[in-house]
Structure 1
Amino acid sequence: MKIIHTMIRVKDMDASIRFYTEILGMKLFSKDDYPGGEFSLAFVGYGDHPDDGSIELTYNWGKSDYDLGDAFGHIALGVQDIYGTCDTIKNKGGEVVREPGPMKHGTTVIAFVKDPNGYMIELIQR
């Protein structure tokens, strides 16, 4: 078994695709509308195929906000240069909400970025 994708609901499909592709550098694998179900799906990721571990962005037509609740934590991305990555994200208009530095009670260097929907993306120095 392997993880294929994680689905998150988004408020604005175009803004979400821009964030994940232009700011985080993922590929857009597909985007499809489902008029009968009144929703749209897009798959983004870093691999060569959506089954290489992607994020499914789901937009429910007419829905402009979601309660993110307190159960979901974050999506984590490994990066080679966390300081440079955070600078690039900020220069492209992304929001770094925790600057790079050691995690609490540890030495792993992490940072957090917020996507346009309020989801947290953890960057981990590799």
Structure 2
Amino acid sequence: MRLLHTMLRVGNLDRSIQFYTGVLGMQLLRRNDYPEGRFTLAFVGYGDEAHHTVIELTHNWDTDSYELGTAFGHLAIATDDIHATCEAVRAKGGKVVREPGPMKHGTTVIAFVEDPDGYKIEFIQP
């Protein structure tokens, strides 16, 4: 068994695809419209779905935004240079919401950015 994907509901699919591909450097792997169901699925990631866990962006055509709730925490991405990664995100218009530094009560260096729908993405520097 293996983890295939995480699904996020997004209000503006093109804006979200631009963030995950243009800001975070992922690839758009596939995009499918389902007119009878009035939704579109787009899959993004750092590698093909056969070998990597990816993100499924779900856009319900009649919904412009979602309340994030309090149960979901964040996605995590490993990076070798967290400072350069945050600067690259910022330079591309992304929002860094927690600057790089040690995690609370630990030594692991982390930072957080936010996608256009408010989902948090944690960068971790091993």
Structure 1 length-normalised TM: 0.97
In structure 2, what is the Cα distance between the partners aligned to 1:40 and 1:92? 25
Q: Number of aligned residue pairs: give it.
A: 125
Unaligned runs of 5+ in 2: none
The reply on whether 1:26 has 2:21 as its aligned counterpart is no
The reply on whether 1:124 has 2:119 as its aligned counterpart is no
Q: Which amino acid aligns with 1:82?
A: I
Structure 2 length-normalised TM: 0.97
In structure 1, what is the Cα distance between the partners aligned to 2:15 and 2:21? 10
What secondary structure, in the 3-state scheme, does the structure 2 residue paired with 1:50 have? coil
Query: Once the two structures are superposed, what CA deviation does each residue of 1:83-117 show, in whole Å capped at 9, x if it has no partner?
Result: 00000000000000000000000000000000000
What secondary structure, in the 3-state scheme, does the structure 1 residue paired with 2:59 have? strand
Structure 1 runs of 4+ aligned residues shifted over 4 Å read: none
Query: Once the two structures are superposed, what CA deviation does each residue of 1:22-44 show, in whole Å capped at 9, x if it has no partner?
Result: 10000100011100100000000
Unaligned runs of 5+ in 1: none
Match of 2:70 in 1: 70
Match of 2:54 in 1: 54
1:44·1:50 contact (CA, 8 Å) conserved in 2?
Answer: no
